[in-house]
Each structure stands twice: as structure tokens, then as C-alpha cells.
Amino acid sequence: MSTGAGRLDVARLRGLFPALADGYVHADGPAGSLVPETVAHAVGTAMRMPIANRGGVFPASGRAEALVTGARAAVADLVGGRSGGVVLGANMTTLTYAMARALARTWRPGDDIVVSRLDHDANVRPWVQLAASVGVEVRWAEVDIETGELPAWQYADLIGRRTRLVAVTAASNALGTRPDVAGIAAQAHAVGALVYVDAVHAAPHVLLDKRSLGADFVAVSAYKWCGPHVGAVVADPDLLGYLRPDKLVPSSDKVPERFETGTPPFELYAGVSAAVDHLAGLCGDAVGTRRERLRASMAAVARHEGDLFEWLDQALRAMRHVQVLGRPERSTPTLSFTVAGMRPRQVAAELARAGICAWDGDFYARELFDALGVNETGGAVRLGLMHYNTADEVGRIIDAVAALRPR
């Protein structure tokens, strides 16, 4: 891609990723991105300096505190939230279970919640299981199987007077679909329901903005945006103060600590901050606060990924032996496809032989792939682009998919 104002200097930024030296085309970003040296360095540095647990009166404890504060501020910048409302934890799934348990304590039999079949199971099953334990009805938003869209209009029928929660994804990790979250959230808020947005897949591709999404909770996972394996849920501190999660008696009852069980991975929190700094620095000529630089960088990322993805998407759709699932109007640079006469696992193995990392299966989008009917035949193959992918690499993917033949 070309460089210049508002463009990514992809050659420069590829040099930041030691893992790219393996020569593979990493089209597996939706399952976890590569990590730049700055992030690995930040984690290593934190492990080399004296760090104790939080709450002590000596410098090593102060350093631990600073790493927590730094990671909260970074995630707040990433999602447009307040750092006092950033709950950090092992991963999005674990945090969502904790939030579901806490929220379910506020539900009553006869209430209802709305989940969607577009979502990753981590934004479905915790809600469904907790609803069952309380006697709360679960209502399902359906996907248009032709387009892969999640129509917002259906929520008018799904949301009612007793709806307590709407859980919806900001982007499908399988089809890339970006639903009208703001439109859905407005309908939820009209009856006083809370909105839990899974932004795990969206985060590396678009600038998240908690307020304009209309989200009461935004969940992200740093390993999807060049960081370490740490999850976060961002909410309004007042809302968190109203919830009672499971916690140990001596641990802090303050917000957001109340939701964070056990001793945190301080060294990984150093990596979380470095990963947000990495994203904010992608557009070299961006200036201003980290949030402002993120805005410029994510716009440049979207242009770069969008150009490459359009080429990939059109090329695959033109191949007679390939079926790309759905055709969402607004999407991340992610698609899933099947190949006539070949199991997805075989396709992924052929692509791996051609030096391309691609996932096969259902990607935990279990409800979606059941609805699409592809799970019985092994799901699909997924390709997802990141800011470090190049036109050359997309050319390699297209050639490799074109050469696929059933054996």
C-alpha cells in the first residue's frame, strides 16, 4: 500500500513484528493477531523489574499499581470509555460469565433477555445459562442467511417491557458483519434494558466508541489487537457500582476492582498498554492525545484493510468452486467460505501447505453456522486480514484458493 498522509506505511510496520519472519501469510488474525516487538518488550521489561503485588507502601508495589492504572487508561482510550469503568481479566469469556452472574442477580422470573445468532458463543451461552438459572426467557435475534446481516428492525418485536438485557456483537468473527448496534441499543434503552456489546472482533478494525455504539458494556480481548492474552469489559463506573459480583471478603469492594478476582498478570498489563500505543502509532503522521491518534490510525487501518479485502472478497466470489458465506454490507476484513467437494479441514491443510494460516471450523459462532447449515460438513474456512497484511499476501491467498481441487 502507498504511504503518505493518512496512509499506513506497511513496510515500516511489518518490521515491528518479529513473527512475520516465518514467511507465512497470517490470515488468522480473527483467532489472534501477531504481536509487535514493543509489546513483547514491555512484557519482558515488566518481568525484569522489581514488581510486587498492589497495595504496599514500597516502590515495587507502586510499579504494579502503575501497570494496572496504565492498562485501564489504555483500554479506556481504545473503546472511548472511562478508565474507572475498565474491568480487566483473563479473557472476554471469563469476564462475560462474571458479568452475567452479577447481572442475573438483578433479574426476576418472567423477565427476558435478547441474544443473537450472529454472535460468538461467548456472548450467547453465559446469558442463556444464567437466564435458565433464574427463570428468565431468552429471545433470539435471527440472521438473514443470504446476506449474513442481523436486521435491527426485528428487535422491535423482540424487546418488550420486561427485557433486561440485549447482548449483541459489534462484528461477527465469522462473516465480518457489523450490525447496527446503535439502532439496536436505542430500542433496548427505550425500555430500560442494558446493552452488552461484544467488540472482540471489531476492535482491531474500527475505532470503537462506547457512547455512539449505545453500549452499557463493551467487551474486548487484547490478543486480537496485537496485545497479550488479557480481556476487558468497559462500563460506566456507576453501573458497575450497582452490581454485586462473586468476590472474596478481604479483596477490594471498590469499582472496578470488585470484579477482578485474584492477583492480576501485571506484566501482561504492561503489554496491554503497549498494544494500544502500537495501534495509536500506526498512522505515523497522527498527532494529539492517544485517543486522537487512535482515531487517525484506525481510519488508516480501515482504508488499508478495506482495499485489500475488497480485492480478496471479489476474487473469491468469482471462483466457481468457492462459496463465500453471506454478503454483509458493512463488514470487517473477514470472510468465511466453503469449497465444493472439499472439507474445510482439507482446504485449511492445503492452504497451510501453500504457506497460508487459515482457520477451519465454526470459530465458536455455533448458532450462526447451525443456522447456515454448514456445521454438519465441518463448518467453513475463515480468512481475516490485519493491518500487517499486504497486497502480495492477498495475491498469494487468491492463487492458493484458485488452485484448490478436490482430491
Ligand X SMILES: Cc1ncc(COP(=O)(O)O)c(C=O)c1O
Q: Which residues of the chain form contacts with ligand X (CB under 6 A)?
A: 91-93, 120, 122-123, 169, 173, 198, 200-201, 221, 231
**Helix and strand totals (H; E) in the chain:** 14, 13
Closest approach of ligand X to the CB of residue 152, in Å: 19
Nearer to ligand X, 169 or 187 (CB): 169
1 or 168: whose CB is closer to ligand X? 168
Please give the DSSP secondary-structure letter assigned to residue 70. H
Nearer to ligand X, 122 or 234 (CB): 122
CB contact at 8 A, 119 and 93? no
Beta carbon of residue 199, minimum distance to ligand X (angstroms, whole number):
8
Indicate the residue among 198 and 277 with the shorter CB distance to ligand X. Answer: 198
Q: What is the enclosing helix (H) or strand (E) of 121? A: none
Give the Cβ contact number of residue 297 at 10 Å: 23
d(CA 366, CA 120): 7
CA gap 80, 196 in Å, rounded? 15
Residue 232 C-beta: closest distance to ligand X, Å: 9
Q: How far is the CB of 57 from ligand X (least distance, A)?
A: 34
Amino acid residing at 303: R
Query: Nearest to residue 202, comparing CAs of 389, 30, 34, 17?
Result: 30
Residue carrying the nine cell digits 442494558: 194
DSSP 302: H
Nearest to ligand X of 173, 338 (CB atom): 173
Give whichever of 154 and 173 is closer to ligand X, judged by the CB atom: 173
Shortest reach from residue 104's CB to ligand X, in Å:
19
Which residues fall within 8 angstroms of residue 75, CB to CB, at 6 or more apart? 81, 83, 86, 88, 220, 232, 234, 272, 276
Question: How far is it, in rounded angstroms, from Cα 229 to Cα 223?
Answer: 5
User: Minimal distance in Å, beta carbon 230 to ligand X?
Assistant: 8
Cβ neighbour number for residue 193 with a 10 Å cutoff: 23
Residue (72 or 396) nearer to ligand X, CB: 72
At its nearest, how many Å lie between ligand X and the CB of residue 122? 4
Residues 6+ apart with CB under 8 A from 214: 181, 182, 184, 185, 186, 188, 189, 195
